[in-house]
Structure 1
């Protein structure tokens, strides 16, 4: 059995990193970006090519190209009965099946880039006809990147995209903002980066260890009239929490829009 990746971008790299770290997988990356493929080959020791070899039922094909490029990328592919795992946000199993010549052995996965360091969170969805063996294999594979959550409905994948799939970008955005704020207070770039990372890492570790609501943890360090209170009140005045919620909602809406854009017909639109 070989796990073939169609596309070698960030999401593919996150999954490949976990698989290599765990060991025991034969991995082959297919793509048009020769530089990226060479980097993957050198870093992880995977096989690479510009075209997809013939597949059979024992193989796995991971679709890891952008949703907008998926139809062109899958044109003419004969899955040979292989298990197909799709990373593409918004694209339903029905749409993918249509593009893959009627193949229905398809599971959708939505990992995130922290999978590169074994700290990922992946949402998984399998239609009712998918075998228990295929679901078990997919879960085992994705657990090499971190945690997994099976979703009961395909529409739930849009929400996973908004929270976990795109979520690391939100954290990096906040990290960058804190680093810039630290530099504005007179710390140099290296010090600001170190302070920001340590603060985020420490807060996340404390939250994970404590059986306490996030809101209560925030209150625990927010004395009325104190220094933290001034910062939190400023965030509230600028509606930071509301802006984050609106951003997540916009991400989910975009995922749904992509699904509608490529839907085969009105029966596929829910």
Structure 2
């Protein structure tokens, strides 16, 4: 496996769990980057290069993990090898034209990959083999939950919905922390309280058979303090704000990131 942009945070977040789980052998991993090691110092057998052409010559599988704007700097002929892309907004037609291969898997992991909690939707072209798909499943399973999609356009939506990882929940959490501080809670306590709240809420929703809507309705039925807060948020159209934000992110992803 050769990884272009292997020193980046996303590549490292995917590779470290994959090495630990035995999906990738360090001795068979080559990364190219302008600087750094991508947090792979614990595995000295990993090779580090600065030349993408040398990497491509030696790799059976090439993963591209760079910003979409940097793609113009990469010119390689992968000669029908498997290409895995974790770039937002770059479709398989563009990748095929640029790299000379139709064996392509596009995926959209997020920043929770390091904690092995990424939801990773992925799409495979018709030319991707069963072995290609098996490798991708094992690679992305090491860092979370992979999910195959049948239409490539679905990746644009998931880029908006889950691609940001903790970003949207973090915005809500920050608002709660700032409100607590304004109410007189010291900043450190406010931060600790809200982080623990979100951790507990995430685990509850992950393990509960109830849907998030069911959970909201349960608290509304109590007609207590939480119901008062929920009612005020709904009256302020918090749902509309969420819809507007996701729609804006979806448009950005659909227009090429």
TM-score scaled by length of structure 1:
0.85
Partner of 1:209 in structure 2?
Answer: 207
The offset of 1:58, in angstroms, is: 5.6
Rounded to whole Å, the distance in 1 between the matches of 2:47 and 2:189 is 40
Partner of 2:132 in structure 1?
Answer: 134
Rounded to whole Å, the distance in 2 between the matches of 1:122 and 1:144 is 11
List alignment gaps of at least 5 residues for structure 2. none
Cα gap change, 1:58 to 1:65, in 2 (>3 Å): closer
Rounded to whole Å, the distance in 2 between the matches of 1:47 and 1:183 is 48
Deviations 1:197-240 (A, max 9, x none): 11111112222222112112112223565321221122123211
Partner of 1:237 in structure 2?
Answer: 235
Deviations 1:122-159 (A, max 9, x none): 00100122111100111111101010100001111111
Equivalent of residue 187 in structure 2, options 182, 186, 189: 189
Does residue 31 (structure 1) correspond to residue 33 (structure 2)? The answer is yes
Task: Give structure 1 regions of 4+ aligned residues with deviation exceeding 6 angstroms.
Answer: none
Partner of 1:17 in structure 2?
Answer: 16
List alignment gaps of at least 5 residues for structure 1. 260-270
SS of aligned partner of 1:258: coil
> Which stretch shows the higher mean deviation, 208-217 or 8-17?
8-17
Partner of 1:153 in structure 2?
Answer: 151
CA RMSD after TM alignment: 2.1
Partner of 1:263 in structure 2?
Answer: none
Rounded to whole Å, the distance in 2 between the matches of 1:212 and 1:43 is 41
Does residue 65 (structure 1) correspond to residue 66 (structure 2)? The answer is yes
Rounded to whole Å, the distance in 2 between the matches of 1:141 and 1:38 is 20
Cα gap change, 1:38 to 1:136, in 2 (>3 Å): closer
Instruction: Name the count of aligned residue pairs.
Output: 252
The offset of 1:39, in angstroms, is: 5.3
